[in-house]
Structure 1
């Protein structure tokens, strides 16, 4: 029962956010509008077109189910899975609307563009054991001698889809690896864009540097992800807890802490 409750809880939390978050609510209303239009079209379209539309709906639903299942297995967080599912659903709605009427498909494209400009998917709300920091607070913590020796800092922006998709990874990583020698911090470059230049981070979405993770040792940068390299700038792998743990060798840091303890 405990495992069943733990698996159902994220679904219930997401359903609760559907009615409270504009991003989810607008998507739900847009997708629901197709069913309203579809019922109305039954009385207008020719029988052979209705039959063709029904076949296309069955095919589209099967393709969506298969792709959503594949994404559900591959993705590690609900934020990433929901983003993928909504994107697939938009494609499905466009295909079905195009089958029904090309003008309707164009209207859906316009609606999706307006939704993209007005709303964005909310990131994961938890912080784990990490702390939200301003650039001044970060600089103070790195230079003070009474704090932990190592700081792993996530530089993100609330408008970045990449940051939203990976927003759950860093808090969960902090729960596992926080210790007296390693602390975790988050700096929102959307609020403090001037800090991006100081730490050599591009705010351009096409550069693929959001989010950026930097490990500091006594105020000195010792490692970062993605690295300042042309190839990895454009083609770095998806952010996961395992990838960050290996890249920054966090298991060794945790082992050192237990040996000292």
Structure 2
């Protein structure tokens, strides 16, 4: 089984901190209003809350087994937690549900999930540096370049994939680079990446001796579920590593 590199997001990040404060505020509100809701009907409410909690825990266990990246797991669990919280709040009081919906909307508008900042690194490339690699070549025979955007949720969810591939496969024969299309959107057209088309970001392109040999996903993606395993298979990174070890 492939070992996972554990990177736990910093709770002090505004995105996570505001979500945690909102989730825990539910318990404070329920304790403060329990005396007003203490009637025969509260059994139904308490029972529903318990069911929601057990369903959330079960879903969390399933997701932690299936999800490859910690960032994807956190994003999914926050989404499910918000849905469960709003749903159970509707049972308690519609005004409470509206308050939570407005709170989550404000968090969405002013914060975003931070990208992976753990082990592993890839060269941050400007358009000029990338163009130099493509026209003049470089020290590496292969370059695997990720075209991403720092404001794209799909890119944030997969932000640990390239650093972890770098840790395993980086050598003198293959290098890894990143181009932020949020900073340099004009580069997208140069490589046939449509920023307005769902599933186009992030896009990974493998260059051999400064020429494109493969990309993932393609220009018309139907499904672009990005995992380390899929990228490794698509770009044959195991083969490139063995070739390097064998001196080819």
Structure 2 unaligned regions, length at least 5: none
1:114: how far off? 1.4
| Residues 142, 151 of structure 1: 8 Å contact kept | no
Query: How many residue pairs align between the two structures?
Result: 246
User: Of the candidates 200, 207, 210, which is equivalent to residue 209 of structure 1?
Assistant: 200
Looking at secondary structure, tell me which structure has more helix per residue. Answer: 1
Shift, 1:121, TM fit: 0.5
State the match for 1:235 in structure 2.
Answer: 223
Matched, 1:221 2:212: yes
Cα distance in 2 for partners of 1:86, 1:32 equals: 13
If the length of structure 1 is used for normalisation, what is the TM-score? 0.88
User: Contact (CA 8 Å) 2:137, 2:210: kept in 1 or not?
Assistant: no
SS in 1 for 2:140: coil
* Alpha-carbon distance in 1 for matches of 2:85, 2:136: 55
1:249 aligns with 2:221: no
Matching residue within 53, 57, 62 for 1:61: 53
Q: Quickly say closer, same or farther: Cα 1:176–1:50, change in 2 above 3 A.
A: same
Alignment partner for residue 110 of structure 1, among 95, 102, 111? 102
Shift of 1:31: 0.5
Instruction: With the length of structure 2 as denominator, give the TM-score of the two structures.
Output: 0.93
What is the deviation of 1:48? Answer: 2.1
CA displacement 1:74-109 (0-9 Å, x = unmatched): 112211111111111101110111011112212211
Question: Is residue 11 of structure 2 the alignment partner of residue 18 of structure 1?
Answer: yes
The structure whose RCO (Cα within 8 Å, separation 6+) is larger is 2
Give the aligned partner of residue 101 of structure 1.
93
Q: Per-residue CA shift, 1:102-133, capped at 9, x if unaligned?
A: 12212211211111111100010146242111
Structure 1 contact 150–181 (Cα < 8 Å) conserved: yes
Deviation (angstroms), 1:176: 1.2
CA distance in 1, matches of 2:97, 2:121: 46
